[in-house]
Amino acid sequence: MSWKSGSALMSDIIDVLMEKIPNDQDRQEIYEAIIPCFEAHDCDTLQDCAEDDEAFHNALYEVDQSYRDWFDEMQEEYEGDTLDFDDEELEEDD
């Protein structure tokens, strides 16, 4: 498996968990447990999945310092923008 295929696999896992586990907090706890497994195998593209599920974004923010730093910097730079968890791009408030 290539390093890039890890985010594709995680995206598939997110789809399954969103279907089977409706509670955001429960999914976040699962994500927090499995994200380090992906990172231990050099998958460094999990941020590609951040908009797939808000619970995944929250988990990634909690366990991945580089994602937290990037996200906080992005929030400062694009104040008023938000992540859109409905498959749309970032939108800027006017």
Distance CA 62, CA 91 (A): 24
Query: Domain limits of the chain?
Result: 5-77
Task: Assess whether pLDDT exceeds 70 at residue 87.
Answer: no
State the pTM of this model: 0.79
**pLDDT class of 3 with cuts at 50, 70, 90:** low
Backbone dihedral region of 92: left (phi > 0), alpha (psi from -120 to 50 degrees) or beta? beta
Closest among 71, 69, 73 to 50, alpha carbons compared: 71
31-70 pLDDT tens trace: 999 999 998 988 888 999 999 999 999 999 999 999 999 8
Distance CA 68, CA 58 (A): 10
User: What pLDDT score does 91 carry?
Assistant: 46
